[in-house]
Amino acid sequence: MSIRLAVFDCDGTLSDGQAAVCRSMESAFAEAGLPNPDLHSVRRIVGLSLPQAIRQLAPDASDEQRHTAVESYKQVFRAMRLDGSLQEPLFPGMAELLRSLHGKGWVLGVATGKSMRGLKSTLAANGLLDLFSTLQTADLHPSKPHPSMLLTAMEDAFARPENTVMIGDTVYDMECARAAGTQAIGVAWGYHEGQELRDAGARAVAASAEELEELLHGD
């Protein structure tokens, strides 16, 4: 029987960390002496690795300012995690979906712009860490849409591209899947619009966790 691998993005797909991302980015820009970032633009870059996201948000900043912003963002996010103020709830139905897929023999993975420490903390806090067989993060790979995360996930799971699907909420996820030769399914509750996801290569865009499960079982 062929191995079926479902690789999920985290922020905007599994969990909703929008407020924490915006708060951390505002603090990071202030620390670096940069003007406040546009929060709509901040939401649009979720899914990129942190250095690439800050380069995109502050293209005219100096290397020193970008470095300061990156380190400050990490410190603010870590402080919120340590003091208990960080909120990254799962989107409705996602925990049930993951447990259902796992129970039906799917191999589960994550490919995310988060760090490994941040990803494991988010999954553990929601009781999901043990469901995943492969975790790929921005501190181990080039940023999406480079296919490195997805290619490594397939190697870990001994899965073939035709039996692998990338599930995400941004065009970076869809482009990553296309570069890796896998299928791609978008979700409508994240940071990019459904039509953008289709234009970037999604074969479908799910409006709910229940619809996403139906699409996966249709593969």
Over residues 110-152, the pLDDT tens digits come to 999 999 998 999 999 899 999 999 999 999 999 999 999 999 9
Domain limits, CATH 3.40.50.1000, in the chain: 5-16+89-217
Q: What is the CATH number of domain 18-83?
A: 1.10.150.240
Domain limits, CATH 1.10.150.240, in the chain: 18-83
CATH superfamily, domain at 5-16+89-217: HAD superfamily/HAD-like (3.40.50.1000)
Over residues 25-73, the pLDDT tens digits come to: 999 999 999 999 988 899 888 888 899 999 999 999 999 999 999 999 9
Do 169 and 13 touch, CB atoms closer than 8 A? yes
- Residue 219: pLDDT over 90: no
User: What are the catalytic residues?
Assistant: 9, 11
